[in-house]
Amino acid sequence: MILWLNGALVEHGAGRIAPDDRGFTLGDGLFETLRAKGGALWHLHAHLARLAAGARVLGLPLPQVDFKAAALAVLEANGLSDGVVRITLSRGSGPRGVLPPAEPQPTVLITAAPAPPPAPPARLIIARVTRRNELSPLHAVKSLNYLDNILARQEAAARGADDALLLNTRERVAESTIANLFVVIGNMLLTPSVCEGALPGIMRAEVLREHGSEATLREEDLAQAQEIFLTSSLGIRSVSHLEGRDLPATYPVAESLRASLGL
């Protein structure tokens, strides 16, 4: 694998990040994952806008990088036209302690991997070990600290599921550990709002642009759903089971959206 690190393409084994990099020691940074298809970067502008918004929340200077050129260079160097690109931004090296350095030198890492095969419909649980903190400004930031998500995903694996839904501090549904949630109830397509703790997902915004609306959802509302699916930058994944309950084996809304969005 060849990656892009701080302005240069390097072999995977030759890439070095300083041991005092705050992304490693404190999770002080951000990332974006985007899809490449046919050599094009999907929704790059939206991803970079979210990266910049997150950097403002963290008070992290955004380096002057041509992210498009760098990402395309990584794809080409790895012989990929379809794949997954990840942009990682950390605050860079810093002294011991929590307070960031006054003049940080951010680290930028861009990697690419082959596109994964289409995932089968997901089996979901509702996480009981942790909650999404909708009161924190970090809930809308795609930060390097994913420990709540990791705990919930471990719980899902222990219970024989593929992913877990996170409730917020008011017992309302926020999202899954890696994706936004949409439910079909009656003739309505609904998704939790960002103020409930949902990440402002890029694919979520695409679906909302012409379909569906935001709503407050509780656990009991999910029991009424005729269809549930998850959205991420990599696509739309239908849900076949929730908390052991079988959902309908057809996914008309998700399939229609995949077709209309070119997924």
What CATH number did the domain enclosing 149 receive? Answer: 3.20.10.10
Residues 152 and 214 in one domain: yes
Residues 174 and 249 in one domain: yes
* Residues 115-138, mean pLDDT to the nearest whole number: 95
Residues 77 and 133 in one domain: no
pLDDT at 249 over 90: no
* Residues 114-141, mean pLDDT to the nearest whole number: 95
pLDDT at 229 over 90: yes
Residues 28 and 94 in one domain: yes
pLDDT at 46 over 80: yes
Q: Domain boundary residue among 114, 135, 169? A: 114
Average pLDDT across the chain, whole number: 95
Residues 161 and 210 in one domain: yes
pLDDT at 72 over 80: yes
Residues 144 and 191 in one domain: yes
Report residue 250's pLDDT band, with 50, 70 and 90 as the boundaries: confident
* Residues 154-162, mean pLDDT to the nearest whole number: 98
**What is the residue range of 212's domain?**
122-261
pLDDT at 210 over 80: no
Q: Kindly report which listed range (13-17, 144-148, 170-174, 229-233) carries the lowest average pLDDT score.
A: 13-17
Indicate the number of domains in the chain. Answer: 2
Q: Give this prediction's pTM.
A: 0.94
Residues 185 and 101 in one domain: no
Residues 173 and 226 in one domain: yes
The per-residue pLDDT for 248 is 87
H, E, C per residue of the chain: CEEEECCEEEEHHHCCCCCCEHHHHHCCEEEEEEEEECCEECCHHHHHHHHHHHHHHHCCCCCCCCHHHHHHHHHHHCCCCCEEEEEEEECCECCCCCCCCCCCCCEEEEEEEECCCCCCCEEEEECCCCCECCCCHHHHCCECCCHHHHHHHHHHHHCCCCEEEEEECCCEEEEECCCEEEEEECCEEEECCHHHCCCCCHHHHHHHHHCCEECCCEHHHHCCCCEEEEEECCEEEEEEEECCEECCCCCHHHHHHHHHHCC
* Residues 148-165, mean pLDDT to the nearest whole number: 98
Q: Domain boundary residue among 114, 139, 163? A: 114
Report residue 13's pLDDT band, with 50, 70 and 90 as the boundaries: confident
The per-residue pLDDT for 15 is 85
CATH of the domain at 80: 3.30.470.10
pLDDT at 145 over 90: yes
Q: Domain boundary residue among 85, 114, 143? A: 114
The per-residue pLDDT for 14 is 84
Residues 109 and 134 in one domain: no
